[in-house]
Amino acid sequence: MIIIIILVISASAAGFYFAQNWLKKAAIEYNQAIAASIVANNNKTPINKLQADIAQYQPVVDKANNIFTPSQDYQSKTISDLKKYASISNINISDYSFEKSNSNSGNSSKESAITITISNPVKLSDLAKFIKGIETNSPKMQLTGINISRSTNAKGLISVKPITIKVYTK
């Protein structure tokens, strides 16, 4: 009986010794695999990888931030953008009129409106180019409606009544 107990204790001690050596080897191999992975990824640690991802997507962040214009200077920015599109489109804006801001429910953006008066008559193609500029502008502007009619004075030209444009501010 004593011999069996000694054999069981010896076998247990030998088993623990071999298991400990096997675990040490497995841990060394695992650490070497991690080190090789870091070297393979150009020494990018998780923090460096996150910083690289942030830098890669920075233009998207900037574009998202430019969707809305700051409410303190939206009037000058809006007039500047409208003058730029009018110049490109061969259109003359004779008057600008801003309306009071309205809060947009559910988020922090506000809608402000500007009414512009265009010197008539204009070519339809020039007006279309002007409207496209407004609709694709960043920060966001949107036409709320337009009323045009055939010009009685000149053939091939149109007359445009004042246009109201929404400007989204933060």
pTM of the model: 0.59
Residues 160 and 127: beta-carbon distance below 8 Å = yes
Report the CATH number at residue 159: 3.30.70.60
63 falls within a domain: no
- The region of weakest confidence among 6-20, 82-96, 100-114, 127-141 is 100-114
Give the confidence band of 24 by pLDDT, cuts at 50, 70, 90.
very high
Residue 28 has pLDDT above 80, yes or no: yes
82, 134 Cβ separation under 8 angstroms: yes
pLDDT at res. 130: 92
- Per DSSP, 104 falls in state P
User: pLDDT class for 36, splitting at 50, 70, 90?
Assistant: confident
Query: Do 81 and 37 share a domain, yes or no?
Result: no
Integer-rounded Cα Rg, in Å, for the chain is 35
Q: Tell me the pLDDT of the chain averaged across its residues.
A: 83
Looking at the DSSP bridge assignments, the partners of residue 115 are 97, 164
- Range list of H helices, 66-123: 74-88
Residues 6+ apart with CB under 8 A from 5: none
Does residue 116 share a domain with residue 47?
no
Q: What is the pLDDT of residue 129?
A: 93
User: Could you tell me if residue 61 is inside a domain?
Assistant: no
- Locus of tokens 């690289």: 52
Partnered with residue 112 across adjacent β-strands are 167
Q: Give the span between the Cα atoms of 146 and 140, in whole angstroms.
A: 18
- Determine the pLDDT at residue 108: 56
- For tokens 């949107």, the residue is 142
Lowest mean pLDDT across 70-84, 101-115, 121-135: 101-115
Residue 55 clears pLDDT 90, i.e. is over it:
no
Do residues 94 and 163 lie in contact, with contact meaning Cβ atoms separated by under 8 Å?
no
Identify which of 140, 83, 73 has the alpha carbon closest to the alpha carbon of residue 116. 83
Task: Inform me whether the pLDDT recorded for 3 exceeds 80.
Answer: yes
Lowest mean pLDDT among 2-6, 25-29, 40-44: 40-44
Query: For 128-146, how does the pLDDT look when each residue is reduced to its tens digit (9 = 90+)?
Result: 999 999 888 877 888 888 8
Number of domains present in the structure of the chain: 2
Report the pLDDT value the prediction gives residue 106, as an integer from 0 to 100. 52
Cα torsion 44, 49, 52, 56: sign = positive
Say if CB 101 and CB 71 are below 8 A apart. yes
Residue 15 belongs to what domain range? Answer: 2-56
- Asked if residue 42 has pLDDT above 70, the reply is no
Residue 141 lies in a domain: yes
